Structure 1
Amino acid sequence: MALAHAGSRPVPISTVRLDEAVEASVLEVLRSGHLAQGAKVAEFEQRFAELSGVEHAIAVSNGSTALTAALLGLGVGPGDEVVTSPFTFIATVNAVLATGAKVRFADISARDFALDPASAADQVGERATVLMPVHLFGQTADMDPLTELAREHGLHLVEDAAQAHGARYRTRAAGSFGVGCFSFYATKNLTTGEGGMITTSDDVLADRLRVLRNQGMRARYEYEMVGHNYRMTDLAAAVGLPQLAGYTQQVERRRRHAARLTERLSGLPGLRTPEVLPGRQHVWHQYTVLLEGEAAMDRDGLAAALAEQNIGSGIYYPHLASDYACYRDHPLVQVAETPVAREVAAHCLSLPVHAALDDDDVERVADAVSAALS
């Protein structure tokens, strides 16, 4: 197959396409005159709880507030420590710092890009109260040993599942092991533009979170706690709800694209393709490869070569959270040596895998990568 020319139709790293069902759902809310949190949010919560295999889903304004609210709802605050990954979007870290707790970084596994249980165990000290794995790129962390680690030390388990809607570990969905925190940012597998969700099967915690997100009110002007405005609007829920009906099909397209990329790219010198680990169901938010020593070019070179062919790519993430001075020098950030995370951050590149691609797009991506690295 001939390589695409620079003037060819772009193949972006992500595409947002919403259908007529979403338009009708939004129009229904606009015509109702009720734009704030209401019936659409409640329905979205119920449907998302079913997807995640939990009793409760609490909709909030975005994924960052989901993390912050979950921690606050669990009573996390000054003097507490949260063990998490340095290889993540910075919202993970910001949420912990917003509570006044301390961040302790553990290393990751290069196989799933998620928290390594043995390294996490090394970072659990006397003040640790929360273990926060990050389910990165659409695959869960290794939850059996992480769940056991949390149980052994009496830790709350908070899952940063922003990229893992519907991902599964053995028989359970992401967000069902402890308290799950999801994002519906514009480029996520499920999107509301901005939005988030907290999942739990703890009745007491769910009630507390619903009051917390509503300025601490159970009923109007009846304040039970210091709260925040973390509410989702009915307009946002109206965008997300119709997508749930076709979400299984969307994920299957992503899986088909990922399988084809792996088939085409496996064996290229210096290119490590992502794995679907045993017992896990990947939802392929990103298809992330690693460029290793024998590769014909580094990841920046490959990104540039793809750009010349009008093919998008993304570096998620180019640096560890602890590499930025505002975090490295922060009194509530405990920096540790995380060599695997550092190696991954230096060599990772994500290729297009989203559901809006067609088969020709996937072949173009594979052709361009193969030509650059052969």
Structure 2
Amino acid sequence: MSRLDPLPVSTAAPAERVAYLDNARYWVMLLVVIGHSLTELVVMDSARGVYTWIYAFHMPFFVLISGYTARHYVGDFRQIRRIVSTLIVPYLLVETGLQLITRHYDGEPEHLMILSPQWLGWFLAALFIWRITTPIWRALKYPITTAIAISLLAGLIEIPNVLALPKVLGLLPFYVIGLHFDRSMFLRLGDVRLRIASVALLVGTFVLCQLYARDWTDRWPTTWLLWKARYDELGAGPVEGIVVRAVLLAIAFVLTLAALSLVPRARSWTTALGGRTFYCYLLHGFVILWLDRHFRLWDRIEPYGATAVLGCCIVAVIVANVLMTKPVATVFRPLFEPRLTWMFRDPREDTYHSQEPHPDVWDRGPEPVSRRVERPMGHHLR
């Protein structure tokens, strides 16, 4: 790009992080690790109930938060650089590493499929696509309606798993909704009456998932909650598929709001850990794969039934907290958040500069589109 056509450059210093958002990231990351640790145990009703409850809303929750923190994306110099360093580079490292491990133990995939994420990498790929399309969703007249329509229709056709496109489209409404959230909406969720109702709703749905795990799985496989399979692959016709996904979208949204209403607003020990969920997300898959493939851990504990499920959840929480500690972040930051000064030219070469607010600072009113930016490195999972 020539000097006559520069990228806009943000020069504002990062503002203080918002405790509420980091607290939210902490609690949802616990659900992510617990959910992944139970994947091999869903043959048991007790594990399937917990798994179904978690997968009913934990990724929609995470995606909505990601959309909110990306709402100022305009593609300036700093944002492009951070997309490369905190999305593209980690994606390549994690996806390559996980595929090499599974090929070593399982012989699959026979050939590396770097652009077809097999597990954790899908979320990084999704964030990349959602992020670069953010200006489109900010410009549309009916963005949420459009995103919902795309999600419902995506299950009707065969979509290749390039950069996890089926899941990108399936979960798109939550990202777009997050883009259009503001501070006042989060504040309203803190109403005491809403919090009481949220506790009742989350506890009630958890109990229902436990009681009817087998019945629901026979009728609607948990694969629905992965947001990627075609409707006919799930045994549903076009109309039934659209209706079921629409119901799941509504359930996920309501449960997400309920969970958001219970997130603590004040700064606490979870705030610092929540600011480092990026590393937990990228690393916990390696821990799970190693324990499963090398020690056959889940095969060994399956005979213990509900006790194994409980123990698995406890260990998952411990592992997640360890991976969110400062020493882990210090060790892996150069790998997962490289500065890449050798790759990018000096932004001062550009002639356009703007003073931008930090997106994790609560909005004080609408801003011109040309002044919106995003948060610091690792924002997408922190």
The TM-score with structure 1 as length reference comes to 0.26
Higher share in strand = 1
Higher share in helix = 2
Query: Which has the higher relative contact order, 1 or 2, with Cα contacts under 8 A spaced 6 or more apart?
Result: 2
